[in-house]
Structure 1
Amino acid sequence: MASATSVNPLRAPLRRLIAAWTQVRLLEPAPEALGLDPDLTTLYVLPRSSLSDSLLLDVLARQQGLPDATLPRHLGDHTLPAQLSLPTTRRHLWQRRRGPRSPFRAVIEAHRDTGRDIQLVPVSIFWGRAPGKRFGLWQLLAADSWRLTGRLRRLLAVMVNGRDLEVHFGAPLRLAELDDGREPSLTDRKAARLLRVHFRRMRSRVLGPDLSHRRTLIEGVARSEPVRRAIEEQAGHSPRQRARLTQRARRYGREIASSMSYPVLRFLDGVLGRLWNRLYDGVDARGLEDVKPLAGECTLVYVPCHRSHIDYLLLSYVLYAQGLMPPHIAAGRNLDMPLIGPLLRRGGAFFMRRSFRGKALYSAVFKEYLHRLLNRGHPLEYFIEGGRSRSGRMLPPRPGMLAMTLDSFLRSQREGGQPLVFVPVYIGYERILEEASYQRELAGGGKRKESPLALLRVVRRLREPHGRVAVNIGEPLALDDFLDRTRPGWRDDSLDAAPPEWRRTAVTELGETLARRINAAASLNPVNLVALGLLATPHHAIEASLLERHLALLASLGREHAFALPPGEPADWIAQTRALGMLEHSPHALGDLVTAEPAQATLLGWYRNNVLHLYALIGLTAFAFRHQPCHTLDDLERLLAPSWPVLVREFAIAPPASLREALADTLERLAEQGLLEDDGDRWRRTSSLTGEEQLRMLGRLMQPPLERGYLLLSVLLGEAPGHFTRDALTERTRQLAERLGRLTGRDSPEFFDARLFASLVQNLEAEGWLRTRDGRLYYGSRLREGALRGQTLFDPALRHRLQRIARHAQA
């Protein structure tokens, strides 16, 4: 019987050559995780008959302690090869068919004659797909792709990409579970079909769907029904206008469409590998094991937080390095600049204009292009925040791309498309490249246009330290499960007319859910921990020993909610932040001091906001003890209930099922840390000076958002309902916050960022505290009562200062 291990006198020397020449960069899963039964006969299955793959499998089996891949297996009177390969489905007339047409027939007969079970292990091998240190013309030509590989090209792959290998073992397939007693030929075809599906899914996971010709894709978009309908609506009965608009649709398609290329992906992998090694001390990728099983079966849509231009390059690199196909990335048209734009386009970027308003044809072309990407199973990536966060916190989700994705999914389900899964991604930096531009923009400076010259200015900073970066995968969200849970009966809605009525609210809920899952994947690092501690001091100065104790407290309290904690001790975290130039360390005879200059404090505020949501309820609870030494659980719940839902929306955190239970748990945790004492039916502030200071510092974490809310409500309630529009209320409150910041020495641009107040107004509307009519904001007694209850959180001195500032606005 022909097989992948047919007798060959040259096999032993060739195997030694392969062992010496090749190096596996990625092997998944680990051999011990395969779950092989040592008492069963093991046969390996390759997707095609290939001497190089067979020899490499021989070598790997010996190196990894797996069952031998060379020696035949003896079952009774049957002798089976250690390796099998699926039959080729296509061949040229002049080529002899390689391998048997029924590769599993003899295996099935041996199983039936002996009654012994056999486990089949599928093995996928990719030459030149995994990242390596070298890249060049020959490596690019020889890398694996969807194209069929001939002998000459395979030889070239072994020669130039032998040290860039990726090997994936599939879950063992038990023949006893597969054999249903039918004709051996039928069982043979069933096994071949199952394994062929497995190999196709693995190839799709690693290489992505087959990349069709860009020109063909654009032509298909231009001739699609939705685009033709948009053309006819604008052209009317004019053939000349119809032809002109068709040409314009093709031009839009060329402007939008990516031109992803495997050689360019490999080139970018080499370039980015060198960039990360120079720029960062390391990239920590966590949670991808939950994504890999989905990659071959679902359309994946990655939705990262957007903190830096590096985000999309970093995520693509991590996915490529981990054996997943990099996604097509929605990028702003401003990045389609000379030199940079063509390279990004070939790396998977497709470009979109900031606004589709008044551009019906452009909108139709873009939506159709997006639908074709998703319907073909290409992984996709876009930022639901719309733009980069200049404040460091998660911005409210924008509905545009989410709505188009939902529409495409509903359309594809009607056409029998595959499931779609959103993959939330949190990216956390210890230092970002854009810190100077963010500070300038928060201070009122205009946003500079991206250009190649701006890129050259960034290149000069590559020699500066930037610490480590974390890429954390949040909990994936299957879109059909989300709709089943929130919109039962969605499958029965007709999609022939306008989008369903529930789409708008569903998109809003989808964006909020994804934002919460992104934030839930946040991890703590030395910089954001130091920022949380140092910025909670009145003058951004603290004794080094007290800061170390407080950092240990923050790490302990954040352990339950953070995705990961930094290694080392608090003293190491302070030293790391100092090495990045974000604080000053001053030796002193009575104890060393840690301080931050105004510019450093502003910068630290950005990193604090990355993870501030992890401490929202802890900080709010601690703030309640600011001027009241004790509370019962009932009093605390009544006091915090009005503020909590608004903070939940502001910080994009998943609300607990019960605020009362969450408060009880928080009080217990603060008591365990020695900051509160259980005094029977009430909780009391600790009598320890150190504990009281730490409790006060925790409370200051939530003081800025609470002060902003107090100012906004004071301004709003100072006038009759309907007096303010959204923009007027936002601008008036922003001016007051800026005045308060300057009077209190807290001249932080982030404190009076207009976008925070605009978001606060939206959150109050979403919670039903405000309603809009004819562009004006109206409120009722519920808002007045909530504001009166919430103001008791503030001590009299702070309340008087805020009221004085608010009265100044009405004067």
Structure 2
Amino acid sequence: MNKTEKRLQGLVEEYKGSGREYTTVENPRALKIHVKRDLSEHRNVVEKEPRRIREDPLAFLFNMGLYYQGTGWRGYKDYIGTKILYPGYSEKMRSMVLGSKKVQSIIDQLADRQTELLANQKNWNKDDKRIEKQRKAMRKELQVVAKAIVQKCVATVDSSRTLRFFAFIVNNILVRLYHQGVHIRESEWVELKRVAIMAQEKKQSLVFVPSHKSHIDYMVVSYLMFRLGIQIPHIIAGDNLDLPLIGKILKSSGAVYIRREWGNDIMYKTILEEYVATILAEGLNFECFVEGTRSRLGKLLQPKLGIVKIILDAYVDGRFEDCHIVPISLGYDKIIETSSYATELLGAPKEKESLWGILTNSSLLQLKWGRVDVRVGKPYSLKNWVDEQLQMRGPMDLSDHNQKSVLLKSLGYRVLADINAIAVVMPSALVGTVILTLRGRGVGRSELIRRVDWLKNVIEAKGGQVSEFNDMSTGEIVDKTVVIHKDLIGERKGKDIVEPTFYPIAAFELSYYRNQVIHLFVEEAIVCAALYTVVKKGGGKPLQRMQYNDLLDEISFLSSLLKLDMIYKPGGVESNTKRTMQWLADNNVIEIDKDGWVGLSDMERQCGRENYDFLCFMIWPFIESYWLAAISLFTLAPSVAGQEPIWVDSKLFANRTQSLGKTLYYQGDLSYLEAVNKETLSNAFTRYEEQHILLKRRHTTPKTWSEVAVSPAYTPERQNGILIPRGHLWELVERIGKFRREGKNRRDNATVSTRVLRMADILGEDNAKERADAKKIVASDNKAKI
């Protein structure tokens, strides 16, 4: 029996002693392990780790000594995967990348191109000896540039001692900040180990694709790989994390620093592609965040496919035989950055990266923020996935950019769907969701407990996963969550209060946790919002129903509008709608009669529409954002009919849209402050650009910037110089407005349109004035040049 078979057999022995179900076959390489779904399946990997030196100095110092000496698993000597952590490892990787044919070829091309430009400028003939001398000098300079890029990018995982120091630091941060521990499902990690052992034998990589919610994500994933004996991954990280001291430690623990934007820097792009391809060709584990950046909204973001494209291109080019995609979902009771996320989304300048602040902030580490839940999806072969796609889609020319883009986009959304499928709903998400989806100023403790129980049961019935309560009651979970989020959830109690009543202190921040649930209900929420177009009108039951085909039209419009913000289940709108409506009918939210009329069920009416309202509350803030984005286009209206479009700097336009939104919120015309968040507004503008409602043009001088204008077909109309609610743009505003939550002026559209358009016109005057000033400056500059 070779080493691989012994390791696989060891996994069987591990389960023999656990009392759980397992199956074996004669060939342990084909081992499949089946585990009962019970509490013993979950484990807190830091349960026995001492937290603070003052609590138990001897235990803390003893633990420190174990890390320093590398005792047991802390030694990290027999990890699964291709060997790293030896002197000269990073130098070897740098040499392989810098000396590769691809990198040297691009250096030659750039040297030839720049030499040719210089020769043309100086009128050298092609036989001039200075040309070759210049080419050699240019090539030497480019080699220095390439070496600097490689030096910056390549991770320096040469020292096991440095890695143990990193693990010790991360361990102490996690056990102090998340006092209830880091929880895993053992069966998932046993399966991951099995795949890792097989991958190691074939010299294949594991490609980890976690959700991205916090800076802590980097540390949690690497710490768990260290703790459970799997080769730590090389992690794609923004170069903004390359901070003094901590940047060097992270780089020694696998961080691969890259620029946020590459632009037209072909040298940088080539080196990064070659480095990633080399990592995968060497069978080294790799990690990247498909979302590209941390989600400031709580839900998964649309995929950013830059790194995924590099992986797929390397596979198609035959740089590696196969790799294994490993989706990971990270769930936190409380996210460290939610406060800064909220201020950023409301327009404040982005705060400087806070990872160093986290590591050094002693007051922050005194807090007790619950637990972390990590779930690992079933790893799958990239080769098998590509083969399945080609079989399903028919022959594809993967050398064709457009055809490969289809495959690339499909892979990005497959990864996001996998992450959503294994995502754990934390108690914070349950409590936050309930508080934000009930009408009124607050909710009593008993009602909150009842609705949390209901939500938990519904999520599990839909196949979602809820964090383990262990032996705690729902009431205890609610109380603990309120304590953890005392800055977001207020409690009113006292002699003059019949029962404790909870209310949102900071609804905007709390919405981060509600959005962690939205992927489970997005189709149902859209159906309910579409039905709301008649429900909001009031009247008897016959007046609050729609024909199925009419409802489907509204659903199709809303689904298409929100497609950049929502991740839908596979399938078309019609098939998804049928499945969704059946679920709503089975759960007595709606009823569908034999003539095709759809309306609220009698049971839902009797319970005060609580489940229907819950689903509407999930989607309304996003609808509000798209309505606000459409309203803001009125600020781009020319002051006189027939004038050319007014072009406005994109950033300035976005800032003014947020100002308009905040004004409308404080005056009661917007129901949700979170509708003003710049991330959803940005998606809305992108969607309108795709629909040719908004025009955008980009400039590269003096630096990269862009400006926007409203399309001529959607240019707002004026009467006597005043904006009027008429035309294609107003039709769009009214169409979206049908789905909005009823506000203070819901019965008086004329009043709303007059007031809103007046404010839009005020901002429009500023846009027109600044455009005129910009033209004067350009004209003056041109005159001076003449």
Superposed pair shares fold, TM > 0.5: yes
What is the match of residue 660 of structure 2? 736
Cα distance in 1 for residues equivalent to 2:579 and 2:394: 38
Report the CA distance between 1:518 and its aligned residue: 2.3
The count of corresponding residues between Structure 1 and Structure 2 is 641
CA distance in 2, matches of 1:783, 1:516: 34
Q: How do 1:658-669 residues align onto structure 2 when only pairs under 5 Å count?
A: 658-660=572-574, 662-669=576-583
Q: CA deviation at 1:215?
A: 1.4
Letter of the 1:219 partner, please give it. Answer: S
Contact 1:544 1:591 in 2 (8 A): no
- Residue 160 of structure 2 corresponds to residue 262 of structure 1: yes
Could you say if the C-alpha distance between residues 369 and 659 of structure 1 is closer, same or farther in structure 2, counting changes exceeding 3 Å? closer
Aligned to 1:101: none
Structure 1 376/355 Cα, relative in aligned 2: closer, same or farther at 3 Å? same
560, 568, 572: which is aligned to 1:645? 560
**8 Å CA contact retained: 2:76, 2:160:** no
Q: Does 1:219 align with 2:95?
A: yes
Cα separation, 2, equivalents of 1:222 and 1:490: 36
Q: Indicate conservation of the 8 Å contact 2:436/2:504, yes or no.
A: no
Determine the structure 1 residue equivalent to 2:609: 692
Does 2:324 align with 1:421?
yes
Name which of structure 1's ranges 424-433 and 388-397 shifts more when overlaid on structure 2: 388-397
Q: 1:36 to 1:302 in 2, by over 3 A?
A: closer
| Equivalent in the alignment of 2:624 | 707
Match of 1:562 in 2: 464
Q: In the TM superposition, what is the alpha-carbon distance from 1:276 to its structure 2 partner?
A: 2.2
After superposition, what is the alpha-carbon deviation per residue over 1:331-360, rounded to whole angstroms, capped at 9, x for unaligned?
222222222122112211121122222533
Paired residue type of 2:518:
L
Match of 1:8 in 2: none
1:464 maps to 2:367: yes
Query: Which of 405, 430, 449 does residue 548 from structure 1 map onto?
Result: 449
The alpha carbon displacement at 1:381 in A equals 0.9
Kept after mapping to 1: 8 A contact 2:64/2:168: no
Residues 79 and 230, structure 2, Cα contact 8 Å, conserved in 1: no
* Paired position in structure 2 for 1:596: 503
- Do the aligned partners of residues 517 and 783 (structure 1) sit closer, same or farther apart at CA in structure 2, a change above 3 Å counting? farther
Q: Is the 2:634–2:757 Cα contact (8 Å) retained in structure 1?
A: no
Distance verdict in 2 for CA 1:709–1:385, change over 3 Å? same
Q: Check the 8 A contact 2:661/2:670 in 1, yes or no.
A: no
- Which residue number in structure 1 is paired with residue 246 of structure 2? 340
Spell out the pairing of 1:417-566 with structure 2 (5 A cutoff): 417-450=320-353, 454-455=357-358, 458-474=361-377, 476=379, 478-484=381-387, 500-537=401-438, 540-559=441-460, 560-566=462-468
Can you list the C-alpha shifts for 1:412-457, whole angstroms capped at 9, x where unaligned? x2x5x22123322221211122233323333433233347862455
8 Å CA contact 2:327–2:376 kept in 1: the answer is: yes
Residue equivalent to 2:705: none
Q: Distance in 2 between matches of 1:486 and 1:36?
A: 31
Distance in 2 (alpha carbons) for counterparts of 1:784 and 1:733: 17
* Contact kept? 2:569, 2:576, Cα under 8 Å: no
Q: What does residue range 388-399 of structure 1 map to in structure 2 within 5 Å?
A: 388-399=294-305
**Aligned 8 A contact 1:430 1:466 in 2:** yes
What are the ranges of 5 or more consecutive residues in structure 1 without an aligned counterpart?
A: 5-23, 46-129, 144-159, 168-201
Task: Point out the more displaced range, 475-484 or 541-550.
Answer: 475-484
Give the AA of the match of 1:563: Q
The equivalent of 2:524 in structure 1 is 618
2:175–2:181 CA contact under 8 A, matched in 1:
yes
Deviations 1:234-255 (A, max 9, x none): 3344323322322332232222
Distance of aligned partners of 1:349 and 1:540 in 2 relative to their CA distance in 1, 3 Å threshold: farther
In the alignment, structure 1 residue 252 sits paired with structure 2 residue 167: no
In terms of mean alpha carbon deviation, does 531-540 or 220-229 score higher? 531-540
8 Å CA contact retained: 2:561, 2:687: yes
Q: What per-residue deviation string (whole Å, max 9, x for no partner) do you get for residues 284-321 of structure 1? A: 22444553343232422212222111001101122333
Partner SS, residue 307 of structure 1: coil
Alpha-carbon displacement from aligned partner over 1:381-437 (angstroms, at most 9, x marks no partner):
1222222222323233223222222222223x2x5x221233222212111222333
Percent identity over the alignment is 23
Q: Distance in 1 between matches of 2:437 and 2:22?
A: 49
Using a 3 Å threshold, how does the CA distance of structure 1 residues 520 and 731 change in structure 2: closer, same or farther? farther
| SS state at 1:610 partner | coil
Q: Which moved more, 1:253-262 or 1:209-218?
A: 209-218
The alpha-carbon distance between structure 1 residues 477 and 771, as it changes in their structure 2 partners (threshold 3 A), is farther
Give the SS at the match of 1:793: coil
Tell me if 1:380 matches 2:297.
no
| C-alpha contact (below 8 Å) 1:231/1:361 kept by paired residues | yes
Structure ID, larger Rg: 1
Structure 1 residues 446 and 713 mapped into 2: Cα distance closer, same or farther (>3 Å)? Answer: closer
CA deviations over 1:577-635 (Å, ceiling 9, x no partner): 2111232222366642433354x323211211222222222223333244153344334
Classify 1:810/1:748 alpha carbon distance in 2 versus 1 (closer, same or farther; 3 Å). closer
Higher relative contact order (CA 8 A, sep 6+): 2
| Aligned mates of 1:505, 1:764 — CA distance in 2 | 22
Query: Would you say the 8 A contact 1:726–1:761 is kept in 2?
Result: no
1:85-138, Cα deviation, whole Å (9 max, x unpaired):
xxxxxxxxxxxxxxxxxxxxxxxxxxxxxxxxxxxxxxxxxxxxx999966788
Instruction: Tell me the distance in 1 between the aligned counterparts of 2:688 and 2:610.
Output: 33
Cα offset, 1:527, TM superposition: 0.9
AA matched with 2:268:
Y
Q: 1:477 to 1:802 in 2, by over 3 A?
A: farther
Mapped to 2, the partners of 1:224 and 1:760 lie a distance apart of 43
Residues 561 and 786 of structure 1, relative CA distance in 2, 3 Å threshold: farther
| Equivalent residues of 1:441, 1:447 under 8 A apart | yes
In structure 1, what is the Cα distance between the partners aligned to 2:728 and 2:324? Answer: 40
Given the two structures, how large is their TM-score scaled by the length of structure 2? 0.71
Q: Does 1:636 align with 2:554?
A: no
Tell me the amino acid that sits aligned with residue 151 of structure 2.
R
Which deviates the most, 444-453 or 484-493? Answer: 484-493
Cα distance in 2, alignment partners of residues 212 and 246 from structure 1: 21
Q: Deviation of residue 749 (structure 1)?
A: 5.6
Q: CA deviation at 1:506?
A: 4.1
Q: Secondary structure at the match of 1:641?
A: helix
Deviation at 1:503, TM superposition (A): 4.1
1:307 is the counterpart of 2:213: yes
Go from structure 1 to structure 2 and tell me whether the alpha carbon gap of 1:554 and 1:410 turns closer, same or farther (over 3 Å shift): same
- Alpha-carbon distance in structure 2 between the residues aligned to 1:648 and 1:722: 28
Instruction: Provide Cα deviations, 1:219-241, integer angstroms capped at 9, x if missing partner.
Output: 22222222212322333443233
If the length of structure 1 is used for normalisation, what is the TM-score? 0.69
Counterpart residue number, 1:654: 569
The equivalences for 1:203-214 within 5 A come to: 204-205=80-81, 213-214=89-90
Tell me what 2:480 maps to.
576
Q: Distance in 2 between matches of 1:240 and 1:257?
A: 26
Q: What residue in structure 2 maps to residue 627 of structure 1?
A: 536
